[in-house]
Amino acid sequence: MTPTTETTVGIGGAAESTDMVLNIGPQHPSTHGVLRLKLVLDGERITSAEPVIGYMHRGAEKLFEARDYRQIIMLANRHDWLSAFSNELGVVLAVERMLGMEVPTRAVWTRTLLAELNRVLNHLMFLGSYPLELGGITPVFYAFREREVLQNVMEEVSGGRMHYMFNRVGGLKEDLPAGWSTRARAAVAAVRSRMDVFDDLVLGNEIFRGRTRGVGALSPEAVHAYGVSGPIARASGVDFDLRRDEPYLAYGDLQDTLRVVTRTEGDCLARFECLLEQTHNALDLADACLDRLAELAPGPVNQRLPKVLKAPEGHTYAWTENPLGINGYYLVSKGEKTPYRLKLRSASYNNIQALADLLPGTLVADMVAILGSLFFVVGDIDK
């Protein structure tokens, strides 16, 4: 007789003590993107979290090496699709620094103005979408209405709604259209007059505050350890902003208007409050730039460039305070018309690493609140 083996499978208390691995994502980019979170759960509580990235990776840094200095602006424009103008700035500032090129004053102030309008556009998206992720649908409609107002003036000046391609090495593509400054000022005033919607409708909502206060607190030590920057870092009390601490463009002349918003709690609510207050300040900075442009005499907005543009041999690093945090470009040139190496340091890539520190110990129900409060764009992670 053949011997038989009996196996008893327990499904009672033993099963309850077994950790479960849960995959969150990847989803379509129009949600929070093609990001996968590998969670290990003990009941309803997360014991470990591993962000899995790379689903949108397109090898932009390698493509930089096969494009000349005019063409790489288009590639750099796209990794954070909500901050296209700010992305362009890092490239042109790095190349201009290598060339030792001085940009016309009018171009400097116009760049600063458009960078702040782009900051408002970026923040409005998250001010609307974050409450949506927590079950509040109304704010996103207001956010898109304000975005349309500003996108109209950005489209008028550049010809693009999302990918502006308005920066050039040495300045800007062209001067502002006639009457554009008046329309831009009206757009800024219109958006500012309706920003109280987010103060009252979102921050005044007890359900929103209940879902975010004290949830996902990020310590200053973790901010430094992971290289977190932007509003997320400042919400944890890390008072650092390149516009104030290492001024570029015209920010050195805007210190009276520039206000670096910080909090000390480091939770989801603090991150949202920083984003909202920073939006208010960006509108003030845009008005200050419009005032300064009105005082400037007509003049050029770019430098004449040779037909074939070559950066001298050497290397440099240019960084900017992008809407989501620090964006940096490390440029290495061998004296050719294409970069030998161009390394991109994007804000979301570093910020999202903090999930490994933030999520363990929290409930699954709070996972979406924490994830959304990091205000990331997946293309900015994968590059």
Is 0.85 surpassed by the pTM of this model? yes
Which tokens in the block code for residue 325?
A: 């945090």
Residue 12 pLDDT more than 50? no
The pLDDT tens digits for 54-82 are 888 888 899 999 999 989 998 888 888 89
Instruction: Give the pair of three-digit tokens for residue 357.
Output: 């520190």
Question: pLDDT for 158-167, tens place per residue?
Answer: 998 889 999 9
Nearest of 347, 337, 372, 361 to residue 70 by alpha carbon: 337
By three-state DSSP, how is residue 308 classified?
coil
Q: What is the DSSP string of 217-239?
A: ---HHHHHHHT--THHHHTTT--
Question: Residue 17: pLDDT band by 50, 70, 90 thresholds?
Answer: low
Distances from the Cα of 10 to the Cα of 4, 16, 41, 214, angstroms: 19, 10, 20, 39
Mean pLDDT of the chain, nearest integer: 90
Q: Is the pLDDT of residue 316 over 90?
A: yes
Retrieve residue 376's tokens: 């990331």
- pLDDT attached to residue 1: 54
Segment 239-248 long-range contacts (CB within 8 Å, at least 24 positions apart): 241/321, 242/319, 242/320, 242/321, 242/326, 243/321, 246/319, 248/93, 248/320
d(C-alpha 324, C-alpha 321), whole Å: 8
